[in-house]
Amino acid sequence: MAKLKFIDLFAGLGGFHLALEKLGCECVFASEIQPELQSLYERNFGMKCSGDINEIDITKDIPDHDILCAGFPCQPFSQAGKQQGFDDQKRRGNLF
Q: What is the CA radius of gyration of the chain?
A: 14
CA distances from 88 to 7, 15, 60, 78 (A): 26, 24, 30, 11
Catalytic residue annotation: 74
Q: For the CA atoms of 61, 63, 67, 73, what is the dihedral angle to 10 degrees?
A: -10
CA 47 – CA 4 distance, rounded (Å): 17
